[in-house]
Every structure is written in structure tokens, then in C-alpha cells.
Amino acid sequence: MLAAVAAVLVLAAAGCGGGGGESTSSSTESTSTTTTTTGGAQNARLTQAQWTQYEQEKASAQQINQAAIKTFQKCRVLIDQQKPAAQVEACFGDSTTSVVAEGQKLLTYLASIGPTVSGACGMAIGNLHNQIKLYISSVNALNLSAQGGTVPPIQSVDTAQRALVAAKAATSAFETACKPV
């Protein structure tokens, strides 16, 4: 599965490119580095300090998500076997709340750096923000069902896993467009 996700990330990164032939200029803060992308549009990327902090935030989120993915897969099996709600709730434990909390931290960080970028990086950060929001929402729906004493539909687990794949693809595109050069 990890290889499949990696392949999706590579394809997503390859699909990113510059705009048409028009040239635009943008004013950036002194903390941003401006480079030219394919097509002539300006792309203000992250600073090295922003990138370093992003990598720390990402590592923390990945650690929590990797553990949660394993839990979600185990709980999906229980849902498929039509186990009682209490058993499914116990299976999820605090994995869903951990994912939501960590995702909120990452969203806050992305929102803080968003105004310092532009061009392809600005578009990529907006897309990443939206994909993480969708992932958090889908995981939160699992949490609400499991803690509400009902068994979440198996499709809800699948939706959360698909949302994570989309968030990972958006992460790759963001890194390609925003990593300092």
C-alpha cells in the first residue's frame, strides 16, 4: 500500500506545472524567495526556516497517521464482521481524536505561512490545506460515530483512507512547488 501511495505522490508531483504564457509579478516579504516557474509566473517559495518547521510538523503528523492507519484497518475488519459498537469504539480508541488534533495543528501552520507565498506554491498550499481539512473531517466523522455508540459505516473508514491518499498527493505537489531552492 505504501508503494501505491508513493506512486500516486510521484504522479501528482509530475502533474504540477506552471501556468500559461502570461507573466505576472508579485511583491513578497523579505522572508520569501522568489523564483520563476515554467510559463514565466513568479513563485514565492518557503524560506529555509519555514521549510524546516514544515518538516517538523509533517513528521509529527506522519507518525500519528501511520499509527492511526493501522488502527483504522483493524477496526474496518471489526466493522465488516459486524462486531458490537462497544468493541468498535474500543478499537478506535483515541486514534481519531489524535489525527484530528494533529491535523488541526498542521492546518494552523499552513494558514500562518500561506500569506508569505504566491504563484504555484500559493496554489499548492491552498490545495494541501483543503485536502487536509477533508481528511480531518472524514476522520472526525468516524470519531463521532464510534463515540456516539454506533458503528460507523465501513464506507466511512474507506472515505477517510481515500482522503488521506489525496492529502498525501497534495503534500507532494506542495513540496515540489514550495521547497526552497
Residues 41-100 pLDDT 10s:
588 999 999 999 999 999 999 999 999 999 999 999 999 999 999 999 999 999 999 999
Sorted by sequence, the CB contacts under 8 Å of residue 148 that are 6+ apart come out as none
What is residue 149's predicted lDDT score, i.e. its pLDDT?
81
**Euclidean distance between CA atoms 180 and 44, whole angstroms:** 9
DSSP 44-104: EE--HHHHHHHHHHHHHHHHHHHHHHHHHHHHHHHHHTT--HHHHHHHHTTHHHHHHHHHH
Virtual torsion, Cα 91, 97, 135, 85, nearest 10 deg: 30
Instruction: Please return the burial class of 127, using the count of CB atoms within 10 Å of its CB with bins 0-12, 13-18 and 19+.
Output: buried
11: pLDDT strictly greater than 50: no
Q: Where are the domains of the chain?
A: 42-178
What is residue 41's predicted lDDT score, i.e. its pLDDT?
55
What is residue 94's predicted lDDT score, i.e. its pLDDT?
94
Tens of pLDDT, residue by residue over 93-149, are 999 999 999 999 999 999 999 999 999 999 999 999 999 999 999 999 998 888 878
What is residue 2's predicted lDDT score, i.e. its pLDDT?
29
Q: Which grid cell is 76?
A: 474496518
Q: At 23, is the pLDDT very low, low, confident or very high (cuts 50, 70, 90)?
A: very low
26: pLDDT strictly greater than 70: no
8: pLDDT strictly greater than 70: no
Virtual torsion, Cα 166, 152, 68, 14, nearest 10 deg: -10
29: pLDDT strictly greater than 50: no
What is residue 43's predicted lDDT score, i.e. its pLDDT?
86
Q: At 20, is the pLDDT very low, low, confident or very high (cuts 50, 70, 90)?
A: very low
- Architecture of the domain whose range is 42-178: Up-down Bundle (1.20)
What is residue 147's predicted lDDT score, i.e. its pLDDT?
80
What is residue 28's predicted lDDT score, i.e. its pLDDT?
39
